[in-house]
């Protein structure tokens, strides 16, 4: 399977590749753990040549250098920009001491977008993400501003990243009721080692027909196959920033490695294939510091896990979800259906009903 087997992003007419290319690693600026301009362009070219069309960045990645690298590349290759779904994010403040330099207020969104478009050398973005929740700005101000920018032709679609479920639901409901531009995708942390999104945001996204676009699908490289028990990782630039896996995480890592060995593939491919098999439309973001890293990740396009393998990974990586999520499983079915099977979901009988009958 190539990257040109596209999927529709949310309730929209936007078609994207099954993997997005993350450009957070583009640029060698301090603190970025990224790669050179030359290597960044090789990675981007390899992704596009395989049919990839979904490229994701943010205003403050590599202090703006990531966006500039992308802009310079597309300027040097006329005609390619119009065939790419180019996404960036706002929120990060790049101006120390300026309280309006970032966030999600009207003036700051407009200013951040103008700077992003300048660096990217483009007149519009295909997708613009809110990168984080701005607690000090009313969500209606953010949503109205984004709708105005869509109507002005400066952005085409919008999405949220790293926002609480209740804020996201409020924003989406407001947009639908007011006729503003709705969300089509949520960029969230999601992997076999980070599944708490399944408590609130993932069910909300399925209900609303919103796609999930997972960042860090290999959990800082822990699921890449580099990390093994009692082995030293020597070729990871991020190791100094993220440390190493915990004992509980190694249980999942071991299970992934066992399936990878069984299939004759990589741990990265198994981990990404598991994500793509989740309910709804899930489009993982794959990042790379070298072109070979990208090629390794794209092997996942050829991997299909069996129901038994998926179940095994589900069980070994099962997350502990916050209340009220634990109330929505078997206990809910027991109380609601009382032993009946509804929509294919079987339930037990609530124990007190076994010893009594309804008397009132």
Q: Which residues are tagged catalytic?
A: 61
Distances (CA, A) of 209 to 10, 185, 300: 5, 9, 24
Q: Which residues is 127 bridged to in the sheet?
A: 87, 157
* Greatest C-alpha distance within the chain: 79
- Nearest CA-CA partner of 16 in 154, 211, 203: 211
DSSP line for 55-88: EE--TTGGGGHHHHHHHHHHHHSTTSGGGSEEEE
**Closest alpha carbon to 90 in 122, 26, 134:** 134
CB 272 within 8 A of CB 300: yes
Q: How far is 255 from 252, CA to CA, in rounded Å?
A: 5
Q: What is the DSSP letter of 301?
A: G
CB 156 within 8 A of CB 13: no
**b/e code 27-64 from CB counts within 10 Å (16+ = b):** bbeeebbbbebebbbbbbebbbebebbbbbbbbbbbbb
Angstrom CA distances, 291 to 18, 190, 349, stand at 18, 23, 56
CA angle 158/206/132 to nearest 5° reads 40
- 145 neighbors 103 (Cβ within 8 angstroms): no
């Amino acid at each position: 399977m190539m990257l040109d087997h596209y999927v529709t992003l949310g309730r929209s007419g936007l078609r994207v590749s099954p993997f997005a290319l993350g450009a957070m690693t583009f640029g060698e600026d301090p603190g970025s753990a990224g790669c050179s301009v030359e290597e960044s362009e090789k990675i981007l070219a390899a992704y596009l040549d395989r049919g990839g069309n979904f490229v994701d960045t943010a205003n403050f990645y590599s202090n703006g250098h990531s966006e500039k690298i992308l802009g310079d590349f597309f300027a040097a290759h006329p005609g390619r920009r119009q065939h790419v779904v180019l996404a960036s994010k706002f929120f990060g403040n790049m101006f120390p001491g300026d309280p309006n330099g970032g966030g999600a207020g009207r003036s700051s969104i407009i200013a951040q977008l103008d700077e992003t478009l300048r660096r990217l050398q483009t007149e519009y973005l295909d997708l613009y993400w809110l990168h984080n929740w701005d607690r000090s700005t009313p969500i209606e101000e953010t949503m109205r501003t984004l709708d105005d920018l869509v109507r002005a032709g400066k952005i085409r679609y919008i999405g949220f990243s790293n926002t609480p479920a209740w804020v996201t639901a409020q924003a989406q409901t407001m947009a639908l009721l007011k006729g503003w531009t709705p969300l089509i995708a949520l960029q969230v942390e999601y992997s076999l080692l980070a599944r708490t999104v399944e408590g609130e945001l993932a069910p909300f996204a399925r209900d609303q027909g919103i796609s999930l676009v997972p960042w860090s699908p290999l959990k800082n490289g822990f699921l890449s196959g580099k990390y093994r028990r009692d082995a030293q990782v020597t070729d990871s630039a991020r190791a100094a920033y993220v440390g190493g896996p915990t004992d509980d995480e190694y249980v999942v890592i071991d299970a992934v490695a066992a399936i990878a060995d069984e299939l004759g593939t990589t741990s990265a491919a198994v981990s990404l294939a598991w994500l793509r098999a989740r309910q709804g439309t899930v489009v993982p973001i794959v990042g790379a510091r070298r072109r070979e890293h990208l090629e390794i990740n794209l092997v996942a396009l050829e991997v299909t896990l069996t129901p038994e393998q998926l179940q095994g990974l589900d069980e070994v990586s099962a997350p502990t979800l916050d209340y009220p999520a634990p109330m929505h499983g078997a206990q809910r079915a027991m109380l609601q259906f009382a032993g009946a099977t509804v929509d294919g979901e079987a339930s037990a009988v609530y124990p007190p009903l076994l010893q009594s009958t309804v008397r009132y």
